[in-house]
């Protein structure tokens, strides 16, 4: 299961309760989360989406990979930064997370326990308080499920402010120059996502291919399936099998007409069968601005 739970503005109080309820109902073996947060008051009290989700679900193991924080990325142009400072938080961190019912094992030695790794795939020189300059990371993890070593990569690719405005809609009235600028912005965003997809391909070629891996790649790619990052790089170049939801006419984000959250599997020849679907429910629509994707996967044991 992969689920963008909606960032700092949506993870508080009743909405986090809805997130936990939804995850508990699905009860996945592996879960990739994007936009989870942890925050610490000046008195030292820690609040954590990760710990809250772990307590409310059957997961025994979890890992949090930070992407941005008040201490490291403080900018007075960012409204969230000002809010956290003046409500007396000593720290506020957002990032990705992985949950597993099975123990994490070492990425280099599949016979001993280990920890996932948080890897940077996009790092602008300075975070200026918007998604345009937000650092992007992936989490690499390995876990033993029923005697089989599997790898889960959790990712969250770049999106740029304004790129999703539907310039072909009759309700969107823009000048010719404005439409041209938006097309250029979308092209810029797609190039960034291609570069981030290439980072994943490099990690597979350098490390995973030495061990005949089973890899689940899941996350918020901010890209529809026909984008170059998906079609040309992850599917075309890296030979990932994209798991198509049976209800793929349903969007996964309110600003996107097609799904931008995805689950992939590698290598394709070990995939026996699967069922994939987008959770389209009132609970999902009131828990986050993203809908989660779930897949039941049957694979061969032998490589």
pTM for the structure as a whole: 0.90
Nearest to 14, CA basis, from 50, 52, 51:
52
Distance CA 77, CA 83 (A): 11
For residue 194, give the CATH number of its domain.
Answer: 3.60.10.10
DSSP string, 211-234: G---EEEEEE-SS-TTSHIIIIII
pLDDT tens, residue by residue, 164-207: 765 445 545 667 777 777 788 889 999 999 999 999 998 877 77
- 288 within 8 A of 254, measured Cβ to Cβ: no
Which residues are registered as beta bridge partners of 190? Answer: none
pLDDT value for 7 = 55
Distance CA 15, CA 75 (A): 27
pLDDT value for 257 = 84
The residue with tokens 């799904």 is 259
- 142 within 8 A of 211, measured Cβ to Cβ: no
Please tell me the least confidently modeled range out of 74-83, 132-141, 204-213.
Answer: 74-83
What's the total number of domains in the chain? Answer: 1
Coil, strand, or helix at residue 205? helix
The parent domain of residue 184 ranges over 2-299
pLDDT tens, residue by residue, 202-225: 887 777 666 668 999 999 999 999
Please tell me the least confidently modeled range out of 93-97, 109-113, 185-189.
Answer: 109-113
CA distances from 97 to 196, 208, 250, 300 (A): 18, 20, 25, 27
Q: By percentage, how much of the chain surpasses pLDDT 90?
A: 56
Mark residue 162 as left, alpha or beta (left: phi above 0; alpha: psi -120 to 50; beta: remaining).
Answer: left
pLDDT value for 69 = 79
């Amino acid at each position: 299961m992969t689920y963008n739970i909606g960032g700092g503005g949506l993870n508080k109080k009743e909405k986090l309760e809805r997130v936990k309820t939804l995850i508990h109902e699905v009860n996945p073996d592996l879960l990739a989360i994007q936009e989870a947060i942890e925050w610490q008051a000046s008195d030292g009290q820690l609040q954590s989406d990760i710990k809250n989700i772990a307590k409310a679900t059957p997961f025994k193991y979890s890992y949090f990979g930070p992407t941005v924080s008040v201490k490291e990325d403080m900018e007075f142009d960012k409204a969230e930064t000002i809010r956290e400072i003046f409500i007396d938080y000593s720290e506020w961190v957002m990032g990705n997370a992985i949950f597993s019912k099975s123990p994490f094992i070492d990425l280099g030695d599949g016979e001993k326990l280990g920890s996932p790794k948080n890897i940077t795939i996009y790092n602008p020189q300075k975070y200026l308080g918007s998604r345009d300059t937000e650092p992007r990371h992936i989490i690499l993890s390995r876990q033993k499920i029923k005697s089989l070593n599997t790898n889960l990569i959790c990712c969250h690719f770049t999106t740029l402010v304004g790129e999703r405005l539907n310039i072909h809609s009759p309700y969107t009235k823009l000048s010719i120059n404005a439409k041209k600028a938006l097309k250029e912005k979308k092209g810029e965003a797609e190039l960034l996502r291609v570069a981030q997809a290439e980072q994943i391909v490099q990690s597979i070629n350098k490390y995973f291919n030495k061990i005949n891996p089973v890899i689940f790649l899941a996350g918020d790619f901010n890209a529809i399936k026909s984008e170059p990052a998906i079609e040309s790089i992850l599917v075309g170049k890296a030979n990932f099998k994209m798991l198509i939801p049976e209800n793929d006419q349903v969007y996964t984000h309110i600003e996107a007409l097609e799904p931008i959250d995805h689950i992939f599997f590698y290598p394709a020849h070990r995939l026996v069968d699967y069922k994939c679907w987008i959770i389209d429910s009132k609970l999902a629509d009131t828990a986050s601005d993203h809908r989660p994707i779930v897949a039941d996967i049957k694979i061969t044991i032998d490589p």
